[in-house]
Chain A
C-alpha cells in the first residue's frame, strides 16, 4: 500500500496542474500549473525507476546487493528537469512581455488572435 503512495502524489500533482491550467485566469497561475505538470512527470519517472529493495546505482558504494536500480530514469529525469527549466524561464518571460503589451494578466483579455 505505502509503495503506491508516490503514484498517488503523482496523480494529485498532475490533476492539480491540469486544473490550474484549465480553470485559472491569471497567466502566472497557468505557468504554475505547467510547472506542477512537469514536477508530476519527473516524479513519475523517478518512482517508476525504483525497484523494490534495490540499491543505489553506484557500484563502489553499494556493497553486497541483489538488485541495483538502473540509473537510466534518473538521467532521464535530470534531462527533463533541465528542459523544464528552459520552458519555465521562457514562459515567464513571455508572460512579462504580454503584460507589457496588454497591460493585464487575465487570459480572457489576451485573445486578439481568434476566428
Chain B
C-alpha cells in the first residue's frame, strides 16, 4: 500500500494506526455514554472527591510540583545524578576544556 514504509526488517503503516485510534476513540465514547446522567446537579454528588476533605479554592495548594515528579527515579539514581550535575558546573573554561579533551582523545585514536 502507498502509505506503508518498509524498514527492511518490518513495516510501518500510518493508516492502520489511525483506524485503530478511531476504533479506540469510539469505544471510549461508548463507555462514557454508559455513565449515569441522573445525578443531582449542585449537590454533594457534583463535588470533586478529595479524600473527604474540602477542595481548596486555589489549585496551587493541591498540585504536585514538577520537582517532585519522578522522585523515586531520581532517588534511585542519586549517585549517577550527583556526578552528572557536578559535571555541568557552568564554568566557561570547562566548556572549552571538554572540547579540547574530546579533540585530543579523537586525535590519539585517529593518529594511532
Partner of A107, one of B88, B93, B100: B93
Q: Is the interface of B mostly helix, strand, loop or mixed?
A: helix
Q: A112 near B93 (CB under 8 angstroms)?
A: no
Partner of A21, one of B85, B89, B96: B96
Q: A107-B91, A108-B91 are in contact. Are A115 and B96 (CB under 8 A)?
A: no
Q: Does A30 contact B (CB under 8 A)?
A: yes
Q: B100 near A114 (CB under 8 angstroms)?
A: no
Q: How far is the CA of A47 from the CA of B88 in the complex (A)?
A: 39
B99 to chain A, nearest CB (A): 10
Q: A18-B100, A22-B100 are in contact. Are A110 and B92 (CB under 8 A)?
A: yes
Q: Give the size range of A's interface with the partner.
A: 10 to 19
Q: A30 near B89 (CB under 8 angstroms)?
A: no
Q: How far is the CA of A108 from the CA of B96 in the complex (A)?
A: 14
Q: How far is the CA of A17 from the CA of B3 in the complex (A)?
A: 56
Name A's B-contacting residues (CB within 8 A). Answer: 18, 21-24, 30, 107-108, 110-115
Given contacts A22-B100, A23-B93, A111-B90, 4 further A-B contacts (CB under 8 A): A21-B96, A110-B92, A111-B92, A114-B88
User: What are the 4 tightest A-B residue pairs by CB atom distance, in nearest-first order?
Assistant: A114-B90, A111-B90, A115-B85, A21-B96
